[in-house]
Structure 1
């Protein structure tokens, strides 16, 4: 067990890496020692660590860019502070010290012959935060692959280290259901050969990727990659041959998948880049072939997207959705929003967003897809948008939506 007291001053702001790159032993050390260390504020992203939901000490205040993974339970318990921001804004927030960054916890690969460590499967915001963090503490995991695309960190930069040899955390796997499979088929029809894709992870994005097996020369530029990307590479579909930049390369900030994906990364044409690159408007504007595919909790009849709040509880994030939808719509090929037509017995196509929170502007949405079809919104006035969205709503809600539509 590492003693954090010599390295974590009283009241210091702490951050750590997310998902498969989360330095779990260091986080658990913090949870174990926080009573002696005193109150601290910490920033983390997507986490699968259930200790944060079962044993979150009162001395530790959590802040994040959204309520993802186990943070949804922390949010429901009223213990999560959410900073609503575009993912592209995180690098500047760390630079301005608007987010906790006195101490950083990272999980890295073993040092190479020059004593340099890689951030492995989790460059994303960590790669940007490192430069603005005086004290870094590292978990050196002998199973973390050394990846390329981001500057490596000298071993001498770490104030303290712990060595582990543990499997990387794997993304929870869930097979797509009937609705998600139908949505995936509709989305695949909107993808053209040579497009450069951005999408998240989960059962629906995985279903979309599997529906693209018959395409050719697709590219990928996204904040995250999953096992579905690996499958398309193996089938010769994902070549990146027509990408305007990073030709032939898959560009991402993080890998969220299984051990198979993590083990294969050194053999794949993948470059792990910081959020200041993957989500940069200047970079994305150079991808004329960009197609963004993102998910919603609800969509109103004008095309506004809510992806953060459900029934008054924060369960999502702005994340990279706004960054990529705007770029795909303005300077890329097209922006696509997917949403299941129902949440329980309720319609997700609504006259007005129940959460009152607009994640993505209606002006940045080209197509909305449910299991009932695709509503093409580009160039449509408000009345036509409403008609097209009602046509892809759950059938039992269409009459009520028509009565609530804008005149």
Structure 2
């Protein structure tokens, strides 16, 4: 009798274990299977939230088939305690396992609203942008000038939201004064800027911002990045260049930056100035003269006068030999690399060609013909 009871109990245990194993396998398959989402969504995880709260939100949006399996899976993979606050993009068909990875991986938010503060050569402005989950493309909802006191309602609203991301985008060729001015106008930042950073010392790039960040710390990041870029380019520079220090390379790169209209021409533009320096020719470039007038504080907004082109100043490269005393803008990495590894050409002249780029020449006669063509283009445009 006892033998029969023991045998039956063992059978029950075996069957129970078999059924439990089947349930586990079934749950695991559901956890890793493609999800029910037919279109991407943004999932917001508030600070201090729990996996249970997130699972309920996901279930209500139709992103998962079972909030219980979602929580069990997160527990089983030891990710329940790794939840990160933020706004995250969940693509269509994402499995529960993949969603858990997205909301526990960390890093910047990948969805929702962002404010981009842009420093361009001619303008300092802000954009409020909302990500469209279906297309993965940010759609602009508002734009405003930073030097205006009144901010649009769209900006005021997103400033009060916890998941808004902020970025500063600095264009190549802007001056350090322009960057310092922009930082002073961004209201989410704190701290004073004691003095304008040295011209050329700031790396044009995109920088993440956060509420309460110190303005001086942001400038320090930009300077450290530019120093690293310059050092790397200097280390791999060409032989026999007519610049002997990294500062001279930075000055040359800033001129190349201001004279380049088409990115693909950077190395050719660089070759013109390098060839001129080697030959002892004056650089004869308008942007240096303009910088001598504005000191980098804003845009000249008019053409150069004959008297300005004839005046002997440290930045008038029509009069002085060699490089001006300082950079005239903050060059990007491509211009720094072009200055230290220019194209091998015999070009010593260039002029606009009407397409946004330049016509290059080796001789003065060839250059004069290019100039004549450019004058014809100008006259044709003015007559339309």
> Please, what TM-score do these two structures have when normalized by structure 2?
0.27
Determine which structure has greater relative contact order: mean sequence separation of CA pairs < 8 Å that are 6+ residues apart, divided by chain length: 1
Larger Rg: 2
Q: Which has the higher strand share?
A: 1
> Please, what TM-score do these two structures have when normalized by structure 1?
0.26
